[in-house]
Amino acid sequence: MMVQGTNLVRFFLSLIPPVRKLVSREPSPFLAYHLGDIIYSYCFTQRLYNGDWQSDAIGSETAVLSVSSVLGQAGQPETVLEALSYCLERTCSPEYRHMGRLQFGLGLVDDVIHVMSPGGHALICLLSDLQKMVQAGEKELKAEETRKAESEIRSKLKLAERKVYFIMCWVHEQPGEAWSSLAAIVRAEKSSGMDYRGGKNLPAAKK
């Protein structure tokens, strides 16, 4: 069974195209920071729904778009701090304050670090599941009566799905050592710039 599972993983990975087949120019040098934003939004949604996002596909994808500047606002953060500051601000917003505000958000940053550290296949599995989440939300919206607001959300979902797929292809090409380095950067930022203790405040994320 283990061999069969390994073969399935290899087969799935073999289907992921190289980034050069998706875009003609060099990818943004800030994609690693975009990935941090995306991982945070995924972890947030999984905790919001206790790991069962399928129970409310529309609500789940709405949460992802709400918390992620990259997927929900076409954001282009240029640092880890900028990427995660937006996510933390959204987590502390009145809409989600019942989840625990800052302490909950900092716990999610720990989740990001935990997911990033092994990198590789773990990240691809996460992004694949996120892609399924977005697709499920889009499918449910199509089944409902089309209204202007829903049409706008569906447009965002299409863009989000493309972004997630592109990031997944990019992740597949990165060397294994890249992820421990990125996790270390996130850990350092959490310790310095993301801590309210001692009177420190989060810098405002770029709009």
Tell me the pTM: 0.85
| Residue 154 dihedral angles phi and psi, to the nearest 5° | -60, -35
Q: What is the pLDDT of residues 46-91, one digit of tens each?
A: 999 999 999 999 899 999 999 999 999 989 999 999 999 999 999 9
Q: How many CB atoms lie within 10 A of CB 177?
A: 9
**CA-to-CA distance for 78 and 25, rounded, in angstroms?**
18
Backbone φ and ψ for 22, nearest 5 degrees, come out as: -100, -35
In the numeric block, the tokens 């399924």 are attached to: 132
177 φ, ψ (degrees, to nearest 5)? -70, -15
**Is residue 193 pLDDT above 80, yes or no?**
no
Highest mean pLDDT out of 28-37, 94-103, 185-194: 28-37
Q: How many CB atoms lie within 10 A of CB 193?
A: 16
Please check whether residue 133 is in contact with residue 64, taking contact to mean a CB–CB distance below 8 angstroms: yes
Amino acid at residue number 65: L
| Position 6 pLDDT exceeds 80 | no
Residue 133 has pLDDT above 90, yes or no: yes
Kindly report which listed range (18-22, 74-78, 87-91, 114-118) carries the lowest average pLDDT score.
Answer: 18-22
What are the domain boundaries of the chain? 30-192
Percent of the chain with pLDDT over 90: 58
Task: Tell me if residue 63 falls in helix, strand or coil.
Answer: helix
- Give the single-character DSSP code of 29: T
Q: How far is CA 52 from CA 49, 55, 56, in A?
A: 5, 6, 8
